Structure 1
C-alpha cells in the first residue's frame, strides 16, 4: 500500500514538473537582449528560444522595447509572445539574414531569406500586441550601396518578414507586421494554420505581398487588415507536391498595389475547397479577384462571396494558361496544363476605378487557351460600376492569346472589346443577376464570348447606351441560353452571332424595347442558329 502511494506521488510530481517546464515563460532580456533599437540581438533572442525549447517549450516573451535582430528561428512548442509596445526590428544589413529553405519565385529569382523563420516544426505561435518591422526601405537603401546587380535580380536577396515552412499547428494572432523588405508573410506546405486579427502594413519596396499561403492545408484566416504594395492575400503552389486546400477566409479588409484576392500566379499543385467571404477591397491598383492557373494547377471547388470593392482597377480576372514554370528545379518537374473548373463567385458589388490597366476599363476578364476551356464557372449577383467610354473600334479589339505569358491584366491589353464581361475558351459559363452601370456611354458590347459552349445569361440589367452594334456578341459559340434580361438603351442588335461554328443560341423573354433587332447573324451563318422568343 505504502509503495503504491509513493509511486503515485512520484508520477504526480513528474507530470506537474513537466507541465511547469512546458508552461515556463522566457523573457529575451534574461538572455542579454537590449531593447534600445540599436543593439543587434540576434544571438540573445535565439538563445532564449533554444533554452525555452530545451526546457519543454513555452512562451518566449518580447517585452516593451525595440529589439534589433537578424534571422531568428522558432522551434517546436514555442510561442513568440509580444507584449504591448514590443517591436522586433529587422536589421538593415542583408548579411544578418539566413535562407533556411531556398526556392525560386514566379519571376525566376532566388528567394527565401527571412527575419522570423520556422522550418519543419510543430505547435508554434506568434501572438500579442506588438510589431515585427522589417525596415524594408532602409534595408534596400543600405543593400544597394554594395550590391550592384540590377534591381530585378537584387530584390530576391532581401528578407521576407515571416516564413513558416512545412510546419503543423500554426497560430498567428493579434500581431502587426510592418514594412517587409520582400514578401511579408509566407506559409509553405503547412497544416492546421490559424491566422486571426493580424494587421499588415507593408509598402515602400517591390514585392511587398501581404499573406502568401503556399501549398497549405486546413487553414483559417479571419478578421485581418492588410495594406500591401503587392498582392494582399495570395494563394500559391510553388511545389507540385502539396495542394492548397481546405481553406476558409472571412472578414478581411484589403488594400493592394496589385491583386487583393489572388489564386496563383505560382500554380503547380491544386487549389481545392477554398471559401472566401465577407471581404472589403479598396484602392487596389490591379485586380480585385484574380484566379490564375498557369503552371499546371487544377483549380476546383472555389467559392468567393459577399465581396465589396471600391476603386479597384479591374474587379475580376480568371485565367487558365500554360506558362508551366518550375520553382524548385532540383526537387520538381514541369507539370502538364492544368484545369479551372467548378468555381462560384457571387454577391459582389464593385466600383471600378476610372483609370485602369486596360483603357477604357472593363469589369470581368475570363480566358482559357485553345483546347483548354475554363469549365463550370458561375458568377451570380454581380454589380459593377464602370467608367465607360468605349468606341465601335474598341469593340473589335483583338485580344492576344498570350498562352505562355505571365498572367496579368495588362497581358491582354491594351483593352478588351467588352465593357462588362469578356470571355474566351469557356464551357458551362453561367452568369445570373448581373448588373452594370456606366458613367459614360460605351459602344462596346456588355458581354462577348469567343469560343464558348453551354452559356447561360439570365436576369441581367444592362445600362442605357446608344449607338452600339450589339449588346451581346457571340463568336463561335455552341449552345447559349440568353433569358430574362433587361436592356434600357438602344442598339442595332440585342445579340449578334458570328463564327461558322456558332449554333444553338436561344433568346427568350428579354425586355429590349429600344433594340432594333433581337438577333443579327453574320454572313457565314444560316438561319436557325438562333431561336427567338
Structure 2
C-alpha cells in the first residue's frame, strides 16, 4: 500500500469511528462521547490540517427540521483536533443553535447549503464568559449563532446562506415575548468573534439576523469580502459592528439592514472599507466612542438611507483622527454627513474626562441627493421620523471651548429637497448637544452648518435644491481659519442671506457663485468676527453683498467682486 492509499485508509477509518460513535451518542443524548472517540481514534492523524469533514458524516440530516447543532459542532471539534481543515456544509437546510468555531477551521457552505438558526431560543447560549479588562463592557450581549473566542485562522466561505430567522426574536406587540422566547440583548448574532486573529469571511449570504449580522470585538487581521447581508425583520440589527479591532478590511459587500450598516466603536484602527453598497434606516458609517484612527472608506454606494450615511459621535475621552472618505455616491439619503463632539446625550461633561478630539477628517468626491425620509423599502415595520431628519444638511457640531480641527471637503455635489422656511433659517440659539444628528432640531442652513471648527477647508462645493429653501446655504458659527474656494449655491429672495458667519475669524472665500437671486450674499454677526475676505466670483445675483449685525465691525470684512 502506497503512502496516498495509506493516508486515505486512515482518514476513512477515523471518519467511520466518528460516525459510529456519534450515532450512539445521539441516541443517549451525549454527542461528546462520539467526539471523544473521534479525538482519540488516532494519536497522530495523517490528515494534518488537510481533511474535509462533511457534517452529514457526523449525523447531520439537513432536512430543515432536525436540530443539527451537535453534528456541526462535532465536525468542527474533530477538524480542530486534527490541526484544522475544512468543515463542509453540503446542500440542505441544517437547523442549528449556538455553535463554537475553533482555530484553523474553514467552514465551507456549498451553494445550496443553508445554516438555519432555530426558532427555539433555548438552543442559544453565550458560550463562554468573556472577561474584559479593557474598560469596555459587552452590554450588547454575547450570544452568537456562530461564535469564536480567543481563536485564530478561522474562515467562513462559500456561496451558501446563514439564516438567523430574526423575525422569531421580535415581539409582535409591546409586553408580549417574541416567538423564540428570547429577545433584548440575548438575541444571537449571525457571527460573533472576540479576541480572535486572522479571520476571513467571504461570499456568504447572511440573511435576517436576530441581532447584528457580523460582530467583531477586540480582533485583529480581519478580512470580510463579497458578503451579502439582508436583514430588515427586527430593530437594532447592524450589518457590520466592529469594537476595538485593528487591521480590518471590508470589500465588495452589499448590505441592507434596519440599523447601522457599518458601526465602529471603541478603538478601531487601520481599517479599510471599499467597493461596497449600503442601505439602511439609520446610519451607514457610524463612529462612537474610543479612539478611531487611520481609517479609509472609498468607492462606496449609499442609497435609501434615512438616518445619516456618515455619523461620527465623539464623547469625552474619545479621539477620531486621520479618517478619509472618498469617491462616494449617495442616492436618496438624509443626513448626509454629521460630526459631533459632545457628552453622551447632551449631559454635562465629567470633570475627570477630557473632551473628545476630532482631527484630520477628509471628504472628497461625494455626489448625490438628500431627501426627506420615506418608509424603508422591504422593512417589516414602520419608522417614525424626527423634525431634524425631515430637514437635514452636513453638520459639524461642537460647542463651548471644544473645537474639531482640520476638516476638509473637496468636490462635493449635493442636491437638497428644499422646503425650509425663513423662520427656520432665523434660529441662532442652537441646542448644545450632539448625540443623534437630528437632536439639534431643524438646522438653520440647508447645505452645511459648522459650529466650533478650526481649519475648515471647502473646495469645489456645489449645492442645488429641488424646491425653494429660505435658509442660508452655509453657516459658519465660531469657525476659525477657513478656506473656501469654489462654493456654488442657489439662494432665495426671502432668505436672510446665502452665507452667514457668526463669531468667525480668518475666513477666506474665493470663486463664490450665487446661482439664483438672494437679498444678501453674506451676513456677518458678532464683535468677535474678524479678518473675513470674499475675493471674486459671480455675486451678481445678490441684491446686497454684506449685512452686519450683533456688533460686527465693517472693518472685519473685505469683499472684492
- For Structure 1 versus Structure 2, the TM-score category normalised by the shorter chain is 0.7 to 0.9
The alignment status of 1:204 with 2:225, answered yes or no, reads: no
Partner of 1:455: 482
In the alignment, what sits opposite 2:146? 116
Question: Do residues 215 (structure 1) and 244 (structure 2) align?
Answer: yes
**Paired residue secondary structure (1:528):** helix
Q: Does 1:388 align with 2:421?
A: no
Q: CA deviation at 1:435?
A: 0.5
Say yes or no: does 1:252 pair with 2:276: yes
| Aligned-partner SS, 1:53 | helix
- Post-superposition, which runs of at least 4 consecutive aligned residues in structure 1 deviate over 4 A? 101-110, 141-148
Match of 2:366 in 1: 348
| Distance across 2 between alignment mates of 1:22 and 1:36 | 29
Q: How many angstroms apart in 1 are the aligned matches of 2:203 and 2:503?
A: 52
- Per-residue deviation, 1:517: 2.4
For 1:160-309, list aligned pairs within 5 A: 160-237=189-266, 243-264=267-288, 267=289, 269-294=290-315, 296-309=317-330
C-alpha deviation, 1:244, in angstroms: 0.8
Which secondary structure does the structure 1 equivalent of 2:335 belong to? Answer: strand
**Would the aligned equivalents of 1:402 and 1:411 in 2 still touch at CA under 8 Å?**
no
SS at match of 1:483: strand
CA distance in 2, matches of 1:392, 1:359: 18
Pairwise CA distance, 1:142: 9.1
Cα distance in 1 between the residues matched to 2:453 and 2:291 = 20
SS at match of 1:418: coil
Q: CA deviation at 1:526?
A: 2.1
- Secondary structure at the counterpart of residue 319 of structure 1: strand
Aligned-partner Cα distance in 1 for 2:320–2:528:
28
Q: Which residue of 2 aligns with 1:240?
A: none
Secondary structure of the structure 2 residue equivalent to 1:44: helix
Matches of 1:94 and 1:250 in 2, distance apart?
Answer: 36
1:411-430 maps to which residues of 2 (within 5 A)?
411-413=439-441, 415-430=442-457
Deviates more, 1:445-454 or 1:287-296: 287-296
Q: Which residue of 1 aligns with 2:470?
A: 443
Tell me by how many angstroms 1:201 deviates: 0.3
Residues 388 and 106 (structure 1), Cα distance of their counterparts in 2 relative to 1, 3 Å cut: farther
Note if 1:159 corresponds to 2:188.
yes
For the residues of structure 1 that align with 2:428 and 2:504, how far apart are their CA atoms? 17
Residue 362 of structure 1 aligns with which residue?
392
Q: CA deviation at 1:391?
A: 1.7
Q: Which residue of 2 aligns with 1:378?
A: 408
Partner of 1:46, secondary structure, is helix
Deviation by residue 1:310-365 (Cα, 9 ceiling, x = unmatched): 1102211111122299xxxxxxxx85322111010110011111347426623211
Residue 521 (structure 2) aligned to one of 488, 494, 501: 494
Shift of 1:144: 8.6
Q: Is the alpha carbon distance of 1:474 and 1:338 closer, same or farther for their aligned partners in structure 2, counting shifts above 3 Å? A: same
The Cα shift of 1:465 comes to: 2.8
Q: Determine if contact 2:491/2:518 at 8 Å carries over to the other structure.
A: no
Find the counterpart in structure 1 of residue 19 from structure 2: none
Cα offset, 1:216, TM superposition: 1.2
Does structure 2 conserve the Cα–Cα contact (< 8 Å) formed by 1:360 and 1:388? no
**CA 1:144–1:463 in 2, change beyond 3 Å: closer, same or farther?**
closer
Return the TM-score normalized by structure 2.
0.84
User: Corresponding residue for 1:85?
Assistant: 112
Q: Say whether 1:408 aligns with 2:436.
A: yes
Structure 2: how far apart are the matches of 1:361 and 1:143?
A: 31
Give the RMSD, CA atoms, in angstroms: 2.5
How do 1:502-517 and structure 2 match up within 5 A? Answer: 502-517=529-544
Q: What's the CA shift string for 1:170-215, capped at 9, x where partnerless? A: 1001101110111111011111111110000011111110011221
**Is the Cα contact below 8 Å between 2:491 and 2:497 reproduced in 1?**
no
Q: For residue 496 of structure 2, give the secondary structure of its aligned residue in structure 1.
A: strand
Identify which range, 107-116 or 309-318, moves more after superposition: 107-116
Supply the distance in 2 between the matched residues of 1:351 and 1:142 (Cα, whole angstroms).
35
| 1:432 positional shift | 0.9
SS of residue matched to 1:172: strand
Cα distance in 2 for residues equivalent to 1:164 and 1:483: 50
Structure 2, gaps ≥5 residues long: 1-43, 347-351, 374-384
Q: What's the counterpart of residue 7 of structure 2?
A: none
**Larger mean Cα displacement after TM superposition, 35-44 or 198-207:** 35-44
Count of matched residue positions in the alignment of Structure 1 and Structure 2: 495
Instruction: Show structure 1 runs of 5+ residues with no match.
Output: 1-16, 238-242, 326-333
1:10-159 equivalences in 2 (<5 Å): 20-99=47-126, 100=128, 110-141=140-171, 147=177, 154-159=183-188
Could you tell me how far apart the structure 1 residues matched to 2:175 and 2:143 are? 19
Q: Distance in 1 between matches of 2:499 and 2:137?
A: 37
CA distance in 2, matches of 1:527, 1:185: 57
Structure 2 residue matching 1:20: 3-state secondary structure? coil
For the residues of structure 1 that align with 2:341 and 2:215, how far apart are their CA atoms?
Answer: 24
Q: Residues 75 and 162 (structure 1 numbering): CA distance in 2 closer, same or farther, change over 3 Å?
A: same
**What CA deviation, in whole Å up to 9, does each residue of 1:220-261 have, x standing for no partner?**
111000010111111111xxxxx2111111100101111122
Q: Is the 8 A contact 1:200 1:210 kept in 2?
A: yes
Encode CA deviations 1:255-308: one digit per residue, 9 max, x unaligned.
1111122222xx1x2111111111011111111111221253211110100000
- Tell me whether 477-486 or 288-297 shows the greater mean CA deviation: 288-297
